[in-house]
Amino acid sequence: MIPQDISLAICGHAWHGKSTLLGKVVAESGMATQREVEEAHRLAGEGRDPSLVFAQLVFRSKDVSINQSEAARGVTILPSIVRFEFPEHRITVIDTPGQETYANNRFFGMFQADAAMVVVSCNDGVMPITEQVVRILKGFEIPVHAVIVTKMDTVGYAEEAFDACVEEVRRCFDSYGLEHEDVTFVPTSAYAPTRDIHEPGEGISAFSTITWYEGPTIRDLLRELTFTKVRPSEGPLRVAIHGSEVYDNVPGIGKTATALIETGTLRPDTTLLFEPISTERKRKVTARVRSIQLTKGHVATPGVPIEAGVPRQLVGIAFKSLSEKESLRELFKGRGVIAGTEASPPGVASVMELELTVFHADTRLIPGGNWTLHAHVDRVAITIESILALRPADQTEWTQIQPGDQPSIVAGEWGRVLVKVVTRPVAIETADVLPPLSRFVLRKDKRAIGYGRCVKIVR
């Protein structure tokens, strides 16, 4: 039996311990030797923050001598991935950035996920990025598998502090309509200043200090994770590629990209057509697939060669016969790209109809003004040209807007709107064809304010 592939995003506010938590799971799962942990400890010391010892096992860049590197600064910039193997499933854990500066990379990492673990520090509780993460999960329809309450050592492992944090998170979930009845809350402490680096963390593989908790550990959660969401067995090939995950000269391989297969089956020698680049350049931009690898993540490299990639697998693709002369990295830089085939190219829109709603009672959408639309791994600026129809969230019938009306969309309502893409065309599908690639999150300034789906490509 082929193991099921599940992508799990770890997401939350900056400095709440996401990378440290994942690195500690790596260490306690035997995926890093004692020598590697000690080397990470040395690098973390040079990086000026001893709590980075386990995050070092996850960060893509380990060069702490470069002041702006992830390792030296202790922040996640690009989503990092670590794969865990179990008898019946493989979990690709995606460590997403918590800094607002890298919000687009956070959206990219979360889009790839089948489920999520939300990380909340016990001594901070719900923070602005925590709320943004909850909105994104709601917009992309990603279920929450667990909430990990970190840094329990800072509150003396007190049950009362854990309970208070749990209640605060549940209220946050309720505020944005995110289901949480079946969500598991786990108290943890991956790192503590008084703990030897080789000692087990609290709640990673076992509990020792926290005797009042009877639930699972982090490793238990990963081992028992199941995913029942129906994935499309058939459909046109769609592969999502992020501009920051593209490389021109991987030794022995050449041009490569990390990509998520959304629908269809990807095989070597397939010729991929890239959008919206082809539409922008008014010519077909293509490349042939040399090989495909099942991405194993930073700790267990290289990836495993596979004969075919299937939906929801995160893979590494090696390319050949690129139709453009410029580098692959320059070609894809600064954008999200959807690949299909020449026979079934991805949808592209510069004007489209969307159905959307907003999160907040204080948010009101009216025609005019610019918003940022995050769809799959891309983001573009849009303007609402007009509101075509409205309906209450609990009803199905639409009320058409009449000439002379001055409508707006508020929380509790859905609106059908005509929008124009301000910056450049975006690769997007309609909800009746490929629902996952029709979804988007709408953002204004530093807040995710709404979500919805594309229902019609006008041009």
pLDDT in tens, 90-111: 888 988 887 666 666 777 778 8
The reply to whether 320 and 378 lie within a common domain is no
Closest CA to 21 of 132, 137, 140, 153: 153
The reply to whether 333 and 353 lie within a common domain is no
Q: Can you read off the two tokens belonging to residue 95?
A: 């460590």
Q: Can you read off the two tokens belonging to residue 363?
A: 């948010």
357-396 confidence digits (pLDDT tens): 998 778 899 999 889 999 988 999 999 999 999 999 889 9
CB 121 within 8 A of CB 17: yes
The reply to whether 101 and 163 lie within a common domain is yes
The reply to whether 146 and 100 lie within a common domain is yes
| Beta-bridge partner residues of 337 | 241
Q: Which domain holds residue 211?
A: 4-224
Instruction: Judge whether 231 lies within some domain.
Output: no
The reply to whether 153 and 255 lie within a common domain is no
Instruction: Judge whether 185 lies within some domain.
Output: yes
The CATH number of residue 119's host domain is 3.40.50.300
pLDDT of residue 35: 86
Whats the size of the chain, residue-wise?
459
* Cis peptide upstream of residue 276 (ω within 30 degrees of 0): yes
122-171 confidence digits (pLDDT tens): 999 999 999 989 989 998 889 999 999 999 999 999 999 999 999 999 99
Instruction: Judge whether 419 lies within some domain.
Output: yes
Question: Which residue, of 294, 315, 340, is where some domain finishes?
Answer: 340
The reply to whether 275 and 390 lie within a common domain is no
Residue 416: how many CA atoms within 13 Å on its side-chain side? Answer: 14
The reply to whether 254 and 362 lie within a common domain is no
Instruction: Judge whether 355 lies within some domain.
Output: yes
Instruction: Judge whether 336 lies within some domain.
Output: yes
Residues 6+ apart with CB under 8 A from 272: 239, 286, 287, 288, 289, 319, 339, 340, 341
The reply to whether 213 and 249 lie within a common domain is no
Let me know the angle formed at the C-alpha of 215 by 96 and 157, rounded to the nearest 5 degrees: 75
The reply to whether 196 and 275 lie within a common domain is no
CB 95 within 8 A of CB 104: no
Query: Measured between alpha carbons, how far is 401 from 320 in angstroms, rounded to an integer?
Result: 51
CB 354 within 8 A of CB 419: yes
The reply to whether 169 and 313 lie within a common domain is no
Q: Can you read off the two tokens belonging to residue 214?
A: 């009877």
With the C-alpha atoms ordered 138, 142, 148, 151, is the resulting torsion angle positive or negative? negative
The reply to whether 20 and 97 lie within a common domain is yes
Q: What is the pLDDT along the chain (459 residues), one digit of tens a residue?
A: 456 778 899 999 988 999 899 999 999 998 888 888 888 888 777 766 777 888 888 864 433 334 444 444 445 556 677 888 888 888 889 888 876 666 667 777 788 888 999 999 999 999 999 998 998 999 888 999 999 999 999 999 999 999 999 999 999 999 999 999 999 999 999 989 888 888 999 999 999 999 999 999 999 999 988 765 555 556 899 999 877 778 888 888 889 998 889 999 999 999 999 999 999 999 999 999 999 988 755 444 457 788 999 888 888 899 999 999 999 989 988 788 999 999 999 999 999 999 999 987 788 999 998 899 999 889 999 999 999 999 998 899 999 999 888 899 998 899 999 999 998 999 999 999 898 899 999 988 878 889 999 999 999
Distance in Å from the first CA to the final CA of the chain: 44
Q: Can you read off the two tokens belonging to residue 91?
A: 């979990």
**What letter would DSSP give residue 202?**
B
pLDDT of residue 222: 94
In order of 24, 52, 57, 82, the CA distances from 29 in angstroms are: 8, 18, 12, 12
Instruction: Judge whether 191 lies within some domain.
Output: yes
Question: Which residue, of 322, 340, 358, is where some domain finishes?
Answer: 340
Instruction: Judge whether 208 lies within some domain.
Output: yes
Determine what percent of the chain is predicted with pLDDT higher than 70: 89
pLDDT of residue 77: 56
pLDDT of residue 339: 97
Instruction: Judge whether 233 lies within some domain.
Output: no
**What letter would DSSP give residue 305?**
E
Tally of structural domains, the chain: 3
The CATH number of residue 255's host domain is 2.40.30.10
pLDDT of residue 65: 38
The reply to whether 70 and 195 lie within a common domain is yes
Question: Which residue, of 340, 372, 397, is where some domain finishes?
Answer: 340
